[in-house]
Amino acid sequence: MRCTACKKSELKEIMTKQGVRVDYCPHCKGVWLDKGEIYFFTSKPDILKKEIQTAFSRSKPSVRLNPKTMAPLVELSLFDDKLVIDYCVATGGIWLDAGELKVVAGITGSGLSMVLDPVSVYAENAITGQKTQEENKTAPALMPQFFLPNLALVSGMTLFTLYAMLTAVLYMMIYFRVIGAQTALIIGFAIAALQFIFSPFILDLNLRWFYKIQWVEYSMLPEGLSAFITRTCGKEGIKLPKIGIIPDGAPNAFTYGHTPNNARIVITQGILNLLEPDEASAVAGHEIGHIVHWDFLVMTVAYIVPLLLYYVYRVLIRVKSGKNSKSSGYTAIIAFTSYLLYLISEYIVLFFSRVREFYADRFSGASTKDPSLLASALVKIGYGLTGRTKEETVSRESNSESLKALGIFDSASARSLAVTTYSPGSMGGAIDKDLLKNSMKWDLWNPWAAFYELSSTHPLIAKRLIALSRQSQIMGKEPFIVFNEQKPESYWDEFFEDLFISWLPFFATAACIGAYFLAGKQQYILKLTVMVFGLSYLARTFFSYNSSFFAQMNIASLLKKIKVSAIRPVPCDISGTIIGRGVPGLIWSEDFVLQDKSGIIYLDYNQPLAIWNFFFGLLRSAKYQGKEVKIKGWYRRSPVPYIEIKEMECEGETINCYAYNAKIIFGILTVVAGAFWLIKP
């Protein structure tokens, strides 16, 4: 986009102190804001909206044009003519000159504040006129190789550590005669055998009943995909896996089985519809990597440890103490140790799973001889950057069928269809790398991303893209993406604030209980605890459901916000088309995927009772597929970007979600109950 004011420079994306990326002119220092973005910079959005609406009655034609669409802008005078902005009636975009940016900070009572971050790489390069390293050379410098330890070594060490923990607990149980050695061994081997033998068959039934999977012959696959799988399996000396397709347009893939010679690969028809043939082969290569590395067997063996440790804990806490207090004490210690080791082993297994995903990615890159193919596929599946027009996507999905994601991404990420944005300018062609970098920034900069990754079976998408790009460079090929941007700030202050708010009811309750014992067990403090819990619960609810103002935005505007999390939302009002279910192929999925002109995003339909969600998904959600809707709700990331629905309008019908209302009512009732208990004699 060229600057609409000076017309001498291309607009550059820079960061603001508010954690929002904006389009900036390095020459005249003006800023372009997309639809709704101005509301990120005010604490009083309702006042700003009224000012803009009032200013329309005395708007004047502007000499400026929308830098994206070339549509004419109009001048709007706000706050008693203290601030004049150039506004696009068609798109809601706003142009602010450099002088107007200074005026913004000086208008008292407006709540407006926009501070450009001078330390970000984009800002620094824009201000000095320097080009980035990527712009100055056709081939970027070789990045360090993405180091992965030997797979056999890391597998052996992980399994040894896990089973050493399990052995220690079983030994303690035997030594202190909590259970006999024979019983301990039987329990361990029985659970391991049952888990390994029956889980693939259970998954077969689950896919057949609830996802309508179709097992197909290789002759029914695209020729290139069939040839690639046949060639790769032959090279690795394994039998051809059984191929299943789930009827749904959302793209994903996974594999499971007992051994490499008894494997199944399941893909969605969305994989075949959305991806180019070589990209689909790269996804298949990733799944074959799991098969060749025996991942489903190794991960089953690894996961047995936390399963057994939790089983031991549950058994021991039910053991009656009897008359032998010493034995009872040993039992309690072993139970506590088992639970602690269970938690530790869970995170070890998750880390182990993430490492093996990197290996599967690397196998795909080596087998296709081009890691960028898998990187491109991950972007299209994981970030929704399709590079195709909406019309092309619909036409190709008319005969489509797909799957619930269990393999290429973890289930939490995959069921959302992984959805950030695509570029209208790139539809039908290449993926817009600038938009891709914007999508990666939350993964790489926001501390919440790393926090969520700890509980994920898969690495963050951005990390996988960087690893694949490094593999490309090692192979002497052009990397898919070079991300060398400096983080403008730490974002840890918002993270700790969010974490505190999230745990506020627990902290408040714990403080009251502590005061109860310190004050000599005063009953009024115990009664006060209920009311304090209710007040802190209400405070958390009001923070995480900011309902003061729902600004009209588009998906691209929302995704520019880095300071957002599951607890810190952005209230928004968005229109678009429902293009799919939240969980591809699941017949009772109540959630949706929304597409507007700027991107694709996951919609969370959430009611106070899960049974309410179930029946809505089973009986009503299908009727909204392909319909135009207007959504009012809260934009969140955890780590997948999504909008929690407050209300949805479709063809004159309004569907409301009452989770927020239920939480408010619960908090108020808790406060009232605590107050009555407190004043009761």
- pLDDT > 80? residue 401: no
Half-sphere exposure at residue 286, Cβ-oriented, CA atoms within 13 angstroms: 28
Closest to 96 measured CA to CA, from 107, 85, 83, 105: 85
Has domain 490-681 been given CATH number 1.10.10.10?
no
The C-alpha atoms of residue 420 and residue 602 are separated, in whole angstroms, by 9
Helix axis angle, 325-368 relative to 277-292, nearest 10°?
140
Q: Spell out the domain ranges in the chain.
A: 12-130, 151-474, 490-681
Q: Which residue has the higher pLDDT, 410 or 616?
A: 616
Beta bridge partners of 577: 595, 628
CA–centroid distance for 334 within its chain: 37
Least confident segment among 107-111, 135-139, 642-646 = 135-139
- Which pLDDT score, from 0 to 100, does residue 572 have? 92
The predicted model gives 581-593 an average pLDDT of 74
> Tokens 């043939």 — which residue?
277
Q: What is the pLDDT of residue 240?
A: 94
CA distance 460 to 158: 21
Between the ranges 297-306, 420-429, 632-641, where is the mean pLDDT highest? 632-641
Residues near 143 by Cβ (< 8 Å), separated by ≥ 6?
Answer: 469, 470, 473, 479, 482
What are the distances in angstroms from CA 4 to CA 36, 82, 102, 397, 553?
Answer: 19, 22, 19, 39, 22
CA distances in angstroms from 286 to 199, 379, 483, 663, listed in the order given: 22, 15, 23, 43
Helix (H) or strand (E) holding 570: strand 570-581
Token pair, residue 565, equals 């999390």
Report the C-alpha gap between 359 and 294 in whole angstroms.
12
Joined tokens for residue 628: 């135009």
Residue 596, pLDDT score: 83
Our CA angle for 151, 157, 160, nearest 5°, is: 135
Mean pLDDT within 392-407: 32
Strands 599-604 and 641-650: parallel
3-class DSSP state of 466:
helix
pLDDT at 120 exceeding the cut of 80:
no
Catalytic residue among 51, 279, 287, 397: 287
Rounded mean pLDDT, 269-289: 89
Mean pLDDT of the chain: 78
pLDDT value, residue 290: 92
Annotation says 453 is catalytic: no
Res 388: pLDDT: 36
- In this predicted structure, the answer to whether residue 39 has a pLDDT above a threshold of 80 is yes
> What are the pLDDT digits (tens) for 474-505?
888 888 888 877 777 788 989 999 999 999 99
Note the pLDDT of residue 166.
65
Write down the residue that tokens 């949706």 correspond to.
592
Instruction: Please give the structure tokens belonging to residue 236.
Output: 């690795």
Q: What radius of gyration do the chain's Cα atoms show?
A: 28
- 433, with CB counted inside 10 A (0-12, 13-18, 19+), is middle
Weakest-pLDDT range from 353-362, 391-400, 649-658: 391-400
Compute the distance between CA of residue 333 and CA of residue 353 in angstroms, rounded to an integer: 30
Structure tokens at 404: 């619930």
The one-letter amino acid at 36 = G
pLDDT of residue 197: 78
Residue 320 in this model has a pLDDT that exceeds 80: no
DSSP-derived 3-state class of residue 674: helix
Q: CB burial class (10 A; 0-12, 13-18, 19+) of residue 49?
A: middle
Q: Find residue 67's DSSP bridge partners.
A: none
Give exposure, 597-633, as e/b (b: 16+ Cβ within 10 Å): ebbbbbbbbbbeeeebbeebbeeebeebeeeebebbb
Alpha-carbon distance 470 to 358, whole Å?
12
Each residue of 461-477: pLDDT tens digit? 889 999 999 899 888 88
pLDDT at 352 over 80: yes
Spatial contact of 380 and 275, defined as CB atoms under 8 Å apart: yes
Of residues 330 and 89, which shows the higher confidence score? 89
User: Residue 434 CB: number of other CB atoms within 10 A?
Assistant: 11
Q: Whole-angstrom Cα distance, residue 577 to residue 360?
A: 35
- CB atoms under 10 Å from CB of 549, counted, come to 16
As a whole number of angstroms, the distance between CA 438 and CA 604 comes to: 23
Rounded to an integer, the average pLDDT of 606-617 is: 91
431 — phi, psi (to 5°)?
A: -70, 140
Bridge partners of 88?
none
CA distance 211 to 414: 15
Q: Per-residue pLDDT averaged across 95-108, rounded?
A: 74
* Whether the predicted pLDDT of 395 surpasses 80: no
pLDDT for the residue numbered 412: 45
What's the mean pLDDT in 114-135?
48
Q: Cis before residue 149, ω within 30 degrees of 0?
A: no
Greater model confidence, 284 or 594? 284
In the chain, the percentage of residues whose pLDDT exceeds 90 is 24
With residue 135 as reference, give the H or E element that holds it: helix 133-136
Q: Is this structure's pTM higher than 0.85?
A: no
Q: Who's near 525: CB < 8 A, 6+ residues apart?
A: 512, 515, 516, 519
Which value, to the nearest 10 degrees, does the dihedral of the CA atoms of residues 158, 162, 163, 166 take? 180
Rounded mean pLDDT, 516-523: 81
Is residue 99 predicted with pLDDT exceeding 90? Answer: no
Chain centroid, CA 358 distance in Å: 18
The predicted structure's pLDDT at residue 504:
95
Distance CA 517, CA 515 (A): 5
Residue 124 pLDDT greater than 60, yes or no: no
Token readout for 213 is 């999977």
Residue type for position 123: A
Binned at pLDDT 50, 70 and 90, residue 421 comes out as very low
Of 56-60, 99-103, 576-580, where does mean pLDDT reach its minimum?
99-103
Main-chain phi, psi angles of 635, to 5 degrees: -80, 130
Per-residue pLDDT reduced to its tens digit, 167-219: 666 656 655 555 554 565 566 667 667 767 777 887 788 778 877 788 999 98
CA–CA gap between residue 107 and residue 86 (Å, rounded)? 18
Q: Is the pLDDT of residue 249 over 70?
A: no
Give residue 314's pLDDT band: very low, low, confident or very high (50, 70, 90).
confident
Q: What is the pLDDT of residue 393?
A: 32
Whole-number pLDDT of residue 581: 75
